[in-house]
Structure 1
Amino acid sequence: MTKQLFSLALGGLAIGTTEFVIMGLLPDVAKDIEVSIPIAGHLISAYALGVVVGSPILVALSAKFAPRNVLIVFMILFTFFNALSALAPDYNTLLLSRFFSGLPHGAFFGVGTVVATRLAVEGKSAQAIASMFTGLTVANLAMVPLVTFIGHHLHWRFAFGIVAIIGIITIFALYKWLPELKPLRTITFKEELEFFKTLKAWHLLMIVSIGFGGLFAWFSYIAPLLIHVSGFDEASVSYMMIVAGAGMVVGNIFGGYLADKYNPLKALIFLLSMMVLSLVLVFFFSENKTIAILLTFICGALAMSISSPINMVMLKSAKNSEMLGAAFIQSAFNVSNSLGAFVGGIPLLFGLSFVYPSIVGAGLALLGVVLCLVFFKRYEKDLR
């Protein structure tokens, strides 16, 4: 990984840490600011809403400026509102700061995706994108467990303080290592939006929102699955999350390689199909601890392996709208997160076992495969 791509990866590390660390600290936050855990859960939703809202707006406002400066401004906003989260005196302030800290998330990755392809060696664009997302995978592997541990044993505010420090380091890295590039927009924002008036654009976003929802149907309920079905004790769940994080690191690298070597849409179809198979295996074999560990790694790998291929498909499809397209992909990921968690939880409302979210997830992923096949039949020529 070059220093230029490393600076983008640092941004991914900061973003990934703040997005997921709150989940492990909800009881601590709820107790300290004197709200119920369900009410504290709105802090997760507020961040996700910020991602969805911020992606198109910030990209629209910034595309005519030099991308290095844009990324630095995004990271300044991100750092400021994470610092505010660490200092928030009450629930409402924390809720607003979580929303505003989510605004630069999708926009950073949207601009960063296009920048990474510009910095890439010829024929290795997807691997350059994967390098940027390495920070996100390392966050899940190491930073989230570490920062959660610190936040739980010292104070939850330290978690957001650490994220702010990573943000400051990222700002300096972007300034020092990212080269000056010309503004990314070659057309007006109104012309850029024309792509998103087409069925092709929304077809792609549906693949992400529905197909990837299958993964989140499983991941949202992984802790009770491992405890009540696989028979792990609560203390072991943290280690199992590290196993999933290790899978994400490997999968991210593999997905970038696959998308460069083959047609990225074919790579996406293959990886989504493997997700269907893996989630079905989770349904049938989670009672076996050894197999449960292996499947946790595999599902984690598939979770991140899909990121580079889908971004490459968007970049190839959204001619002259690449940056906005990459930003919308991040919004769609957050939609898939909410959809997967909601649909995956329906069987639990009827008293069914914690293995059932995985079979619901397999159904969503299978629908994603079907959507990919239809997309391939209609637009395959455009991706050559």
Structure 2
Amino acid sequence: MTPARRRTTLAILALAVGGFAIGTTEFVTMGLLPQIADGTGVDIATAGHYVSAYALGVVVGAPLIAVAAAKAPRKGLLMGLMAFFAVAHVAILLADSYSTVMAARFLAGLPHGAFFGIGSVVAASLVSHHRRTAAVAAILGGLGVANVVGVPVATLLGQRFSWHLPYVLVGVIAALTVVAIGLFLPHQPPSGEESMRAEMRALRRVQVWLALLIGVVGFGGMFAMYSFITPTMTELAGLDERYIPWVLAAYGVGMVVGMVLSGRVANRVGVLKGIIGALGLIAVLLAVFGWAAHTLWLAVVMVFVLGLLPSVVVPLLQTRLMDVAHEGQSLAAALNHSTLNTANALGAWLGSIVLAAGWGYGAPSLVGAGLAVLGVGVAALSAVLERRSHRAAAGRVEAPTVQGMGDCAVAAPSETAATPSP
């Protein structure tokens, strides 16, 4: 490996460690809700607001930071985002009430989307064009590793010692990420094209909104089922609750495998075709999950695949947004993570509706299948519009060429017509 290639690998790895920290804090709260509820004097239902507070921070912070910091050097911005993330997590040591924990979780969520969005743009710029999706997948792969290693270990530490401890450890990892980015990421000055106005222009593009809509409805389908994975596995598959962490680990392993495969899918079939194909498979998987979940081993296999397929789509969708946003790449890439958190809320809400209606734990996956089908429809519409746009552009290029040929352009058809057949 050449020194330049090694430095690029270390730079992307540094960003992936930041993704690991973010993935751990995003999911560990769900495993520690009873402990956090006891520690802050609220019931578990109210403690669920702590999850929502973090998600709200992601939704709010991603677009605001991407636009406001459009002209900031990207290396310094990424270091600043991780430094803020670290402080917000260490500060949770001072949080011992509902209001203070809500504030701490909201602040911790603010850098999430901007870090992944801007980090994805930076990672793509460090490698050749055909390796962009693989580079983006490497950063997002930190989320998968977090679900396999970070979340189970952090949950165990929180249960045995203090619920504050996992968040403090995440803050330490974030601080180490700041150091690693400073050491390995090359200087990333603004190209001169970035500005708040340029970033906002991305929102005028129909394809940007279609890509974001794919994320909302397509991933809403996955979250409709996964939000209720624990009762689904215990009620339908008959799994003892103490083995649920192993099921979640299977999901995390699927995420890692999906991130690895994503770059290959992009190179083999293309970004948009890959999105359509993976969403179609997700729809099929969710449609049969309620039936398959009655067989334990089959349910576990399908949970693994459910981790794999969406993780193929996320880097593809991130790359798609960067492609169609043009000068607004940072904003569009950051909005992708706002979109995924919106999908989380949408899917969980719709799933809770069918459960409240008494339709059983197989119903949320059917809702998810319907949402995934809608995602396929939106992606197909995006492909059709893009094809029409390319044809129109090709026509505009050819027309001036013919007109510029003058009399020769008129004479050529006549001469061809006058040529006798052999």
Work out whether the TM-score is over 0.5.
yes
Aligned to 1:74: 81
Equivalence for 1:355: 362
Equivalent in the alignment of 1:91: 98
Q: Find the partner of 1:280 among 282, 287, 301.
A: 287
- Of 215, 226, 230, 1:219 maps to 226
Deviations 1:78-135 (A, max 9, x none): 0000111233132211111110110000000111010010111341100000111111
- Please list the CA deviations of residues 180-203 of structure 1 after superposition, one character each: whole Å capped at 9, or x if unmatched: 122156143123212213433222
For residues 211 and 184 of structure 1, what CA distance do their matches in structure 2 show? 33
Q: Which letter maps to 2:254?
A: G
Cα gap change, 1:188 to 1:277, in 2 (>3 Å)? same
Partner SS for 1:124: helix
Mapped contact 1:47–1:99 kept (Cα < 8 A): yes
Structure 1 residue aligned with 2:401:
none
Q: Distance in 1 between matches of 2:195 and 2:178?
A: 28
Q: Which amino acid aligns with 1:273?
A: G
Query: 2:416: which partner in 1?
Result: none
Contact 1:52/1:334, CA 8 A, preserved across alignment: yes
* Counterparts of residues 129-278 of structure 1 (less than 5 Å): 129-184=136-191, 186-278=193-285
Report SS of the residue matched to 2:24: helix
Query: Contact 2:67–2:195 at 8 Å: present in 1 too?
Result: no
Letter in 2 for 1:332: T
User: Residue by residue, what CA displacement relative to the aligned partner does 1:19-59 show, whole Å, maximum 9, x if unpaired?
Assistant: 11001101100011101112111111111111011011111
% of aligned pairs identical?
36
Match of 2:385 among 357, 378, 381: 378
Cα deviations by residue, 1:320-378 (Å, 9 ceiling, x for unpaired): 11111000111000000000000112111111211111111000001000111111100
Q: What is the CA distance between 1:65 and its match in structure 2? A: 1.8
- Rate the CA distance shift 1:241–1:184 in 2: closer, same or farther, 3 A: farther
Contact kept in structure 2, 1:229 and 1:287, CA below 8 Å: yes
AA at the equivalent of 2:145: V
> Do 1:316 and 1:383's aligned partners in 2 also have CA atoms closer than 8 Å?
no
Q: CA RMSD of the aligned region, Å?
A: 1.5
Name 2:63's counterpart in structure 1: 56
Deviates more, 1:298-307 or 1:257-266: 257-266
Q: Is the 8 A contact 1:127 1:260 kept in 2?
A: no
1:105 counterpart residue number: 112
2:351 to 337, 344, 347: 344
Which amino acid counterpart does residue 42 of structure 2 have in structure 1?
V
* Residue identity opposite 1:154 in structure 2: F
Structure 2 CA distance for aligned equivalents of residues 87 and 162 of structure 1: 15
* CA deviations over 1:194-217 (Å, ceiling 9, x no partner): 221343322221111111100001
- d(CA) in 1 for partners of 2:279, 2:390: 18
- For 2:343 and 2:150, the matched residues in 1 are separated by 23
CA contact (8 A) 1:86 1:159 kept: no
Report the AA paired with residue 280 of structure 1: A
Match of 1:126 in 2: 133
The match for 1:364 among 359, 365, 371 is 371
Which amino acid is 2:346 matched to?
L
What letter corresponds to residue 11 of structure 1 in structure 2?
Answer: G
- Secondary structure of 1:60's aligned partner: helix
Where 1:182 maps in the other structure, the secondary structure is: coil
The answer to whether the 8 Å contact 2:39/2:96 transfers is no
Amino acid at match of 1:92: S
Q: Which residue of 1 aligns with 2:11?
A: 4
Greater CA deviation, 322-331 or 257-266?
257-266
SS in structure 1 at match of 2:327: coil
CA distance in 1, matches of 2:180, 2:388: 39
Q: Is the 8 A contact 2:223 2:348 kept in 1?
A: yes
Answer whether contact 1:33 1:91 (CA < 8 A) is retained. Answer: yes
Q: 1:23 aligns with which of 17, 30, 53?
A: 30
8 Å CA contact 1:67, 1:184 repeated in 2: no
Moved more, 324-333 or 181-190: 181-190
Separation in structure 1 between the aligned mates of residue 162 and residue 319 of structure 2, nearest angstrom: 41
CA distance in 1, matches of 2:84, 2:115: 11
CA distance in 2: counterparts of 1:311 and 1:216, whole angstroms: 18
Q: Which residue identity is paired with 1:334?
A: N
Tell me which moved more, 102-111 or 249-258: 249-258
Instruction: Pick the aligned partner of 2:309 from 296, 299, 302.
Output: 302
Once superposed, which parts of structure 1, at least 4 consecutive aligned residues long, lie more than 6 Å away? 381-384
TM-score after normalising by structure 1: 0.97
- Can you give the 5+ residue segments of structure 1 that lack an aligned partner in the other structure? none
How far apart, in 2, do the equivalents of 1:322 and 1:181 lie? 15
Q: Provide the aligned length of Structure 1 versus Structure 2.
A: 384
Q: Does 2:305 correspond to 1:318?
A: no
Structure 2 letter corresponding to 1:19: E
Q: Which of structures 1 and 2 has the bigger CA Rg?
A: 2
Work out whether residues 259 and 312 of structure 1, in 8 Å CA contact, stay in contact via their aligned partners in 2.
no
Which stretch shifts more, 299-308 or 191-200? 191-200
Question: With structure 2 as the length reference, what TM-score do the two structures score?
Answer: 0.88
Residue in 2 aligned with 1:34?
41
* Inter-CA distance 359–383: structure 2 relative to 1 (3 Å threshold): farther
* Whole-angstrom distance in 2 between the partners of 1:314 and 1:119: 18
The yes-or-no answer on 1:13 pairing with 2:35 is: no
2:5 aligns to what? none
